Structure 1
Amino acid sequence: MSYYVKKVKELTPKEIVGKITRKIKQKVLKRTEALKDSGASTYSQTLNTYEIERILSDSIVHDFSKMEILQTKELSTLYLNHSFDLLGSGWINIKYNMICNGIEEFKYKAPIVDVSEDISCLINKKNKLYSKKIRNMITSNYSPIDWRLDFKSGYCWDSKLHYSQIRYGQDLGADIKVPWELSRMQHLVQYVWAYMLANQGKEDFKEPEIYVAEFQDEVLDFISMNPPKFGVNWVCAMDVAIRAANWLLVYDLFRAQGVTFTEEFEKVFSLSIYDHGKFIYNHLERNGEVRNNHYYSNIVGLFFIAAYLPITEETKEWLCFAFQESIQEMHAQFYDEGANFEHSTAYHRLSGELALYVTALGYALPEHKKNILKNYNVEQHNIICKKKGFNLNASCFWKITDRKIFPDWYIDRLEKIAEFTVAITKPNKEIIQFGDNDSGRFFKVQPIYQLLSVKKAKEVYLNLQNYSARDDENYWDENFLDHRYLVAGINAFFERDDFDRYVEVPSIENKIIKGLIKGNFNKKDKNNQQVMINNVLIKSLNKEDEERIQSLRKQSQFVEYVYPSNSNLVENLKVVSYPNFGVYIYSSKNLYLAIKCGPLGSNGKGSHDHNDQLSLELVIDGKEIIKDPGTYLYTAIPEKRNVFRSTNAHFTIQINNKEQNEYYQGLPGLFMLKESTKSECLELSSIRFMGCHNGFGTKVYRVIDIMSDRIVISDYGSNQRIAHFNYYSNGYGRIIKLK
């Protein structure tokens, strides 16, 4: 079976030569690096000082609700047992020699490891000695985690291999995202909340010290079994960056609660953080002017590392470079309107988190590090950028002052990131899913869950068919589509009443950001506070398209869909448009309608786009009528990846199983589209939307009329009715059969 379409992008001879030359150069550099790394230990074992900066000076005070207490108690218990639910796995105890359930028809068996003996046999020769030293620091009753394992399929990567030799995407069912997701260690923050609640004397929590010890043990376990640059968890600098930032935040939160760590642990910890920083800085995920959320994560993670590590000439360079690049990326990756340039509502959340935390940390920096930033100049930055192989946008270089850490346009854009999140949220508090959703996060400070029984969870999710827990046990089901916490965090800066009304409940995220900025941010005058605007350009249909539509109607090349309402849909109807992202939203008390219509994201590359132009999400009278199918998987099963991003999976015009935009070949083709659609909004008013695209070779049109008692959708250019797509995914790895 072929997973890809036949057509390949045509390159000029010069582009082909350049591409081949770059690939050869990269291969040579990686082979040289692998050879060097195999000849000596890759662990750093000396640093000028091991004392990590204290950023959070005060403890976080939060009045936990009853549900939050129950959630924290049960989640922390699961995590203490090393049970994790990641990317559709279900709650599984992760350990060596476990038997995995498999994913669909794919199932692997990892080699047996004798964990009763010394598991340093899994470590390459030159790193064994230091690995053993670290393992001797772990408490005796700790059960090791198998960090190499895709615990869904059972596929296991060799931890002795240099990161440059790790391969993925060739074995069907094997998903490298699974060990990567675990290695981000975003669950560790739950031990802080459990520690706080245990100290308050809440029932059924462990002794507070147990949560601190577990944090230490898991970090030491990871460091000892994942030497720098070896194994699956050093392949992707993005995950390296997210892991380091999570370690640092949790470490600082514990210290803010009065926890002290041993000098021995602090030394190993700070050295590993330094190793993370070195790896990120030397393996930035940017190719010339091509960047994405990976590069943004690299920059933000590096900034966290430099903010916390002691100052050396090296960390000083990291600090300045990462600070300036974070401003560059805010400009490059978010439009003026506030939406993210990758054109995925889920990735907007991830990049929005990066923007939020790097900004808060900028305000939180101690004065001696702010002074370092003040003395950095554009010439120094330009030299580094050239060495890294990309150009500097000098107009975005920012010289900080005592009064301003970030430029005004940057802060305005941060506020608009929150506004966009509010706009794309449906009445049920979940966002619309346009584009990819891999459930990616930077921090998971207090994720939102609903409590189900195992029986109910298995009835809902097809991916849990082989889940073996008892039917009457609790199943904590994470809601990846509720993004209110992001707005809560951003509102720590702006203190807007409309944002508070949107969030509804107290947020730990908000408390952490306030703890970081410490009142250093000069918020806007609340009397002049900007409210969400309807940034709508009223457009009228041109004569040529009007005649074309009438012609198609006469030829019976049209289909209509009518959705009635028992309420008044147009009362207090608001319209918001985000033309750069390509989404147009109508909302009232009884209506929520979002239409996708615009260019491909990632500067036309379509990395996280679907073939969903002119598709929509529709809620009438509180009932979801039409919703996007989501994503399900990436490289594990390419066929399913392409099914979920296909034209036929979406509520949009269809012609004989044709794709709006063709897929490129090979593994990279899973994250690229060749744009043919050239979608365009032709008419926009308070009661009508009209758009078109050219993806089928001739122009097709969609007209949506909003009436008081119904929505009428008229499609022109095809008389084929939209086939019902039977599956839905509300998070990566999850799949639901629709009735």
Structure 2
Amino acid sequence: MKYLKLLQRIGLFNFSKKIIFKSLRRLIIITSYFRDCYILIGREKLRSVSFFKIKDEVFINFLDDYKYTADMYINNKCILLGYGVFNISDENGKIEINKDFVNETDFSYLSNVYYKNIVLNGVGDIKVPWEVGRFKEFISLSVCAVFFNDNIYFDKIKSAMDVFEKNAKFPFGIHWACPMEVSIRMVNLIVSYSILRKFFQDNELEFLKNSINVHYMYLNNNDEFNFGLRNNHYFCCINALLIGAYFFNDDRKFKKIERKIITEFNYQFNNDGSNFEASTCYHRYSLEMVAWSTLLTYQKFDFHEIKDLFLKALNFIISITNNIDNNIPIIGDNDSGFFLRLHPLFLDKKPYSLNSNYILNFIYPQNIADAIFIKNSKFYKDNVKFFSSIKDMRNVLKIEEKRPLVKGFNKISKKEYKFKIGNGGNFNYFLFSDFGLFVVKNKTFYCSFRFGGRSCGHMHNDALSIELWVDNKCIIRDPGTYVYTSSKYDRNLYRSYRSHFSPQTYSSEQNRLTDSLFSIGNNISDHIKIWNGYVYSYLEDENDRLYRFLKINKNVVEILDISLKNDLVDISFDDINQLFCLDYGKK
């Protein structure tokens, strides 16, 4: 013990620890590298494949949109998240797979770096080249190659894959650094292969099969499992692995991954159907993953084990959808990501929005839904409740009635907001206690009230925030996300409580925004309660208590904010609304 203390005093103990951990890390990386080399050696030893037989009817009604998207890619143009349409080639017409075209940042300097050794320096937006590398346009190219019998589309797939093999050669470069990106790319390649198989022979598609095999073997060793708090990355990997196992007739792996998906779905989705990542968009994203993987493998996957929770999760996204603009409120982060887009990128030449119909109507159209698990596609209407009074709402939604505590503080500061409702009528009320969201809506009115929640990297400082639409007009809305890593200032601006319609004082943030752009403390507001005709919640910060009260009737919306210690400040609705981003990267 004496020698240990002596080593600690002179600093050799900490120095030894660093040496040991660095050596272990290098050993792990070397072991991983040789394992990846084995993947390359075994890439030709392929199993037989079971490609997905997708009916022609799925594509025929949208052939113009598929052709529009495919022709854009033929001209080296594609949509990059919310940034818009960009030319993704150099002056010679060659696709640049490693470039951030938005911020003019080239990541080619990492092309020869082993993926486990890649460290990003925070310059540029890595999501841009990753979006190019997902090859989502391959589906449109495949559809056009088959239905228009034109080899120009098939040749474009081959040339793009050739560029990828040369500039993102496994296991080097940014396109292997994130297993979730590998997962999405593999799924797009598998679905494209399945479409092309309608017209092309196996030997013509060998280059795709080889690449899919490398992706599949990679994911078997890199699924982003975390013994702590797992997230959508791991869930994406295992859903992609399920599709891969089905594709390669790997029945043993399929059963193993099936159990993992069932376990993880129950872990990541709450009892009220919401997702644990405190983001409505990531809820849609994770729900889409399991929707596609179970749909594509429904002949083998035992869906009944997740059926009830899946219906709750689908009910959540339908219930919170704003009937006025048919979008969900963008609570928490949004990266505009999709696991798979079997429909082309454009609908009537406009980017597809984040509304619930994508899952409800396209992934699970009525005929398929009935065949798999849903006997009545209008099941969610059973959960719509009509209330004539706060009392009725309290009894049905089981909201606790409790008098707010306002004693023992130096002073009280109040601010009140009132909005007249021209078109009243009955309201639908929805309460999601696990997520921390209360929604009131009808055809011309929408109000969401954020409370509670738990710490997550995709959460914002949005405790007690409200989004409000009255008589079909937006009064105030959640601003969205804008960007992640390309701008620390913008990232924290959109996460800040100053950018949300919540009670505000001159004190510090609800949770401290650190240098880590994906780390934030708990949403510290209390569970929603009822008192004197209002629903309310509160949060405590540095001996202050901030209350927000909400009352809605047929003629008026009343919002009352109370601070028991500090002065409340004025909130500019215009400033917050000007920040709004429906899609990642788009103001």
TM-score, with normalisation over the residues of structure 1? 0.69
8 Å contact from structure 2 (residues 65, 347) kept in 1: no
Q: Which residue of 1 aligns with 2:71?
A: 77
Alpha-carbon distance in 2 for matches of 1:719, 1:175: 37
CA-CA distance at 1:29 after TM superposition:
4.1
- Which of the residues 538, 543, 548 maps onto 1:692? 538
Note the alpha carbon deviations across 1:505-553, whole angstroms, 9 max, x for none. Answer: xxxxxx8xx3xx8x7635447899972344953334423x2545xx98x
CA-CA distance at 1:296 after TM superposition:
0.3
CA-CA distance at 1:676 after TM superposition:
6.1
Alpha-carbon distance in 2 for matches of 1:94, 1:527: 43
- Which of the residues 424, 427, 430 maps onto 2:320? 424
- Which of the residues 640, 651, 654 maps onto 2:501? 651
Q: Which residue of 2 aligns with 1:720?
A: 569
Q: Which residue of 2 aligns with 1:380?
A: none
CA-CA distance at 1:684 after TM superposition:
7.9
Aligned positions of 1:167-178 closer than 5 A: 167-168=119-120, 170-172=121-123, 174-178=124-128
8 Å contact from structure 1 (residues 363, 521) kept in 2: yes
Alpha-carbon distance in 2 for matches of 1:22, 1:329: 34
Residue 620 and residue 53 in structure 1: after superposition, are their counterparts in 2 closer, same or farther (change >3 A)?
Answer: same
Residue 711 and residue 93 in structure 1: after superposition, are their counterparts in 2 closer, same or farther (change >3 A)?
Answer: same
- Which of the residues 123, 129, 151 maps onto 1:209? 151
Residue 82 and residue 684 in structure 1: after superposition, are their counterparts in 2 closer, same or farther (change >3 A)?
Answer: farther
Residue 522 and residue 559 in structure 1: after superposition, are their counterparts in 2 closer, same or farther (change >3 A)?
Answer: closer
CA-CA distance at 1:195 after TM superposition:
4.5
Q: Which residue of 1 aligns with 2:139?
A: 189
8 Å contact from structure 1 (residues 539, 684) kept in 2: no
Alpha-carbon distance in 2 for matches of 1:529, 1:682: 25
CA-CA distance at 1:450 after TM superposition:
6.7
Aligned positions of 1:108-127 closer than 5 A: none
CA-CA distance at 1:55 after TM superposition:
2.8
CA-CA distance at 1:71 after TM superposition:
3.5
Note the alpha carbon deviations across 1:592-621, whole angstroms, 9 max, x for none. Answer: 111111122xxx3x2110000111111111
Q: Which residue of 2 aligns with 1:160?
A: 112
More deviation in 625-634 or 209-218?
A: 209-218
CA-CA distance at 1:650 after TM superposition:
0.5
CA-CA distance at 1:663 after TM superposition:
2.6
Alpha-carbon distance in 2 for matches of 1:234, 1:595: 40
CA-CA distance at 1:61 after TM superposition:
4.2
Alpha-carbon distance in 2 for matches of 1:310, 1:584: 45
SS at match of 1:680: coil
Aligned positions of 1:438-517 closer than 5 A: 438-446=335-343, 449=346, 476-489=349-362, 491-492=364-365, 495=366, 514=368
Q: Which residue of 1 aligns with 2:174?
A: 232
Q: Which residue of 2 aligns with 1:242?
A: 184
Residue 648 and residue 23 in structure 1: after superposition, are their counterparts in 2 closer, same or farther (change >3 A)?
Answer: farther
8 Å contact from structure 1 (residues 414, 490) kept in 2: no
8 Å contact from structure 1 (residues 303, 358) kept in 2: yes
Residue 52 and residue 633 in structure 1: after superposition, are their counterparts in 2 closer, same or farther (change >3 A)?
Answer: same
Q: Which residue of 1 aligns with 2:522?
A: 675
SS at match of 1:294: helix
Q: Which residue of 2 aligns with 1:400?
A: none
Q: Which residue of 1 aligns with 2:247?
A: 308
Residue 525 and residue 83 in structure 1: after superposition, are their counterparts in 2 closer, same or farther (change >3 A)?
Answer: closer
Alpha-carbon distance in 1 for matches of 2:521, 2:378: 47
SS at match of 2:397: coil
Which one-letter code corresponds to 1:707 in the other structure? Answer: N
Alpha-carbon distance in 2 for matches of 1:238, 1:419: 26
Residue 690 and residue 298 in structure 1: after superposition, are their counterparts in 2 closer, same or farther (change >3 A)?
Answer: same
Between the aligned residues of both structures, percent identity stands at 25
Alpha-carbon distance in 1 for matches of 2:272, 2:351: 30
- Which of the residues 551, 554, 559 maps onto 2:415? 559
Note the alpha carbon deviations across 1:142-198, whole angstroms, 9 max, x for none. Answer: x53111111212222221111122221x243x11111111111112222244346x5
SS at match of 1:364: coil
Note the alpha carbon deviations across 1:249-284, whole angstroms, 9 max, x for none. Answer: 1211232xx211351x43332222121122112122
8 Å contact from structure 2 (residues 54, 195) kept in 1: no
Q: Which residue of 2 aligns with 1:386?
A: none
CA-CA distance at 1:87 after TM superposition:
2.9
Q: Which residue of 1 aligns with 2:309?
A: 413
CA-CA distance at 1:643 after TM superposition:
0.6
Alpha-carbon distance in 1 for matches of 2:446, 2:377: 29
Note the alpha carbon deviations across 1:127-146, whole angstroms, 9 max, x for none. Answer: xxxxxxxxxxxxxxxx5311
CA-CA distance at 1:438 after TM superposition:
0.6
Alpha-carbon distance in 1 for matches of 2:428, 2:296: 36
- Which of the residues 423, 434, 450 maps onto 1:580? 434
CA-CA distance at 1:447 after TM superposition:
5.4
Aligned positions of 1:220-369 closer than 5 A: 220-255=162-197, 258-263=198-203, 265-311=204-250, 316-365=251-300
Residue 246 and residue 577 in structure 1: after superposition, are their counterparts in 2 closer, same or farther (change >3 A)?
Answer: same
Alpha-carbon distance in 2 for matches of 1:243, 1:537: 43
Q: Which residue of 2 aligns with 1:471?
A: none
Residue 209 and residue 677 in structure 1: after superposition, are their counterparts in 2 closer, same or farther (change >3 A)?
Answer: same
Alpha-carbon distance in 1 for matches of 2:377, 2:321: 25
8 Å contact from structure 1 (residues 50, 270) kept in 2: no
CA-CA distance at 1:435 after TM superposition:
0.4
CA-CA distance at 1:34 after TM superposition:
6.8
SS at match of 1:660: coil
Alpha-carbon distance in 2 for matches of 1:433, 1:35: 40
Q: Which residue of 1 aligns with 2:8?
A: none
Alpha-carbon distance in 2 for matches of 1:35, 1:355: 31
Residue 187 and residue 688 in structure 1: after superposition, are their counterparts in 2 closer, same or farther (change >3 A)?
Answer: farther
- Which of the residues 399, 404, 413 maps onto 1:539? 399
RMSD of aligned residue pairs (Cα, Å): 3.1
Which one-letter code corresponds to 1:413 in the other structure? Answer: L
Q: Which runs of 5+ in 1 are unaligned?
A: 1-15, 99-114, 116-142, 200-206, 371-404, 452-475, 496-510
8 Å contact from structure 1 (residues 187, 444) kept in 2: no
Which one-letter code corresponds to 1:727 in the other structure? Answer: L
TM-score, with normalisation over the residues of structure 2? 0.86
Which one-letter code corresponds to 1:219 in the other structure? Answer: M
Note the alpha carbon deviations across 1:690-728, whole angstroms, 9 max, x for none. Answer: 111124542211001112222111001143222433422
Alpha-carbon distance in 1 for matches of 2:493, 2:226: 29
Note the alpha carbon deviations across 1:204-234, whole angstroms, 9 max, x for none. Answer: xxx5332233233323432343222211100
SS at match of 2:338: coil
Aligned positions of 1:565-604 closer than 5 A: 565-568=421-424, 571-600=425-454, 604=455
Note the alpha carbon deviations across 1:480-517, whole angstroms, 9 max, x for none. Answer: 3223111124644xx4xxxxxxxxxxxxxxx8xx3xx8
Which one-letter code corresponds to 1:486 in the other structure? Answer: I
Q: Which runs of 5+ in 2 are unaligned?
A: 1-13, 386-392
Alpha-carbon distance in 1 for matches of 2:196, 2:283: 29
SS at match of 1:92: strand
Alpha-carbon distance in 2 for matches of 1:674, 1:20: 29
Residue 678 and residue 526 in structure 1: after superposition, are their counterparts in 2 closer, same or farther (change >3 A)?
Answer: closer
